[in-house]
Amino acid sequence: MAGFKPKMGTGDRGKTSLLNGKKVRKTDTRIKALALLDDLNCHLGLLRASVKNGRKLKREILSVQNNLFLLSSVIAGVEAEKVIREETKKMEEEIKKLSRKTKHVKKFLIPGEKVPEAMLHIARAKARICEISSWEAQAPEAAVYLNRLSDYFFLLSVLNNRKG
């Protein structure tokens, strides 16, 4: 986001602007959805920074982070639903690959066996919250992507827990 500078005080009356310049209340469902996506993206940054031996995983997390910016832009009023549908299809292919590597889980998984696994579970839970918020913000393409993303993080957490 080249050239962005915060304008102090412009949101002090409980309103903010969407990308199209439209002023909305900060309690608007779109603003809540954007804040939750930001929270997930920040958590993924921490997860990516904590991965020690996993260049592929780091690249995948970075790709998801970029997609979260895309989802945010759609919620904020930019037309990019087609790109989100394409990214959802890519995510579905990744889920299929991971599913082939994962045995069926037969019990509830309690996060916390290993730090990366626990962080992936946090990302999974945050993705679910973002999905719900996206439905509330009437952004179905974003919600579907986030639904797949939570499945993706679940599978990654299971696989990560089995590794050394």
Note the pTM of the prediction, 2 decimals. 0.89
State the pLDDT at residue 147: 98
The gap between the terminal CA atoms of the chain, to the nearest Å, is 39
Please state, as a whole number, how many other Cβ atoms lie within 10 Å of the Cβ of residue 140.
12
Tell me what the mean pLDDT of segment 139-152 comes to. 97
Count of all residues that appear for the chain in the document: 164
Domains of the chain: 23-162 (1.20.1200.10)
| 2: pLDDT strictly greater than 60 | no
> What distance in Å separates the CA atoms of residue 17 and residue 26, rounded to the nearest whole number?
9
State the pLDDT at residue 155: 94
Please state, as a whole number, how many other Cβ atoms lie within 10 Å of the Cβ of residue 44.
22
In terms of average pLDDT, the best of 16-25, 75-84, 109-118 is: 75-84
